[in-house]
Amino acid sequence: MFGLLFRILRFFLVSAVVVFVLIQFVPYRLKNPPVHDEPKWDSAQTRALVVASCYDCHSNATKRHWYTQIAPFSWLSVKEVRKGRAVLNFSAWTASKPLPPGVIAESYASGSMPPSWYTWLGFHPQAKLTKQERAELLAGLRKTFGAG
């Protein structure tokens, strides 16, 4: 009885390892196109905070962390960055669709950005700002993009 259970468990474990290795060859990687232009920031501090907390998904300067190179996490990362760049790309500012005034600041103020799962799972520890930094970032976003 235990011999059969052990063989079944070994089969599933070996199969899982083989599938994991094979999916690494699926060519689904992220490319960073050139940076064209950026918004006119109200201060260098606002830009630094935006770079720390928003640029991984909303710019052409996405950092490639080790976990974003391993499938299936790489697939999720590429999907989320493409989605983020489509909505708002700080590296192609004049080519981006303009958002109504205040949308960027209010998305941050409401807590919808960054998504809670993004920081909760530890995917981007730099996006976790202190309370003071969050207040500074929100003020800077409102000065740069309007308050709505």
Q: Is 142 exposed, middle or buried (0-12, 13-18, 19+ CB in 10 A)?
A: buried
Enclosing domain of residue 81: 2-145
Q: Which of 147, 133, 47 is nearest to 104 (CA)?
A: 147
Domain count, the chain: 1
Cα–Cα–Cα angle for 87, 71, 89, nearest 5°?
15
What span, in angstroms and rounded, lies between the C-alpha atoms of 36 and 78? Answer: 20
pLDDT digits (tens, 9 = 90+) for 7-54: 999 999 999 999 999 999 887 778 889 988 999 999 999 999 999 889
CA 124 to chain centre: 7
Percent of the chain at pLDDT > 90 equals 43
pLDDT of residue 21: 94
pLDDT digits (tens, 9 = 90+) for 62-99: 887 787 788 888 888 899 899 999 999 999 998 877 78
Q: Is 0.85 topped by the overall pTM?
A: no
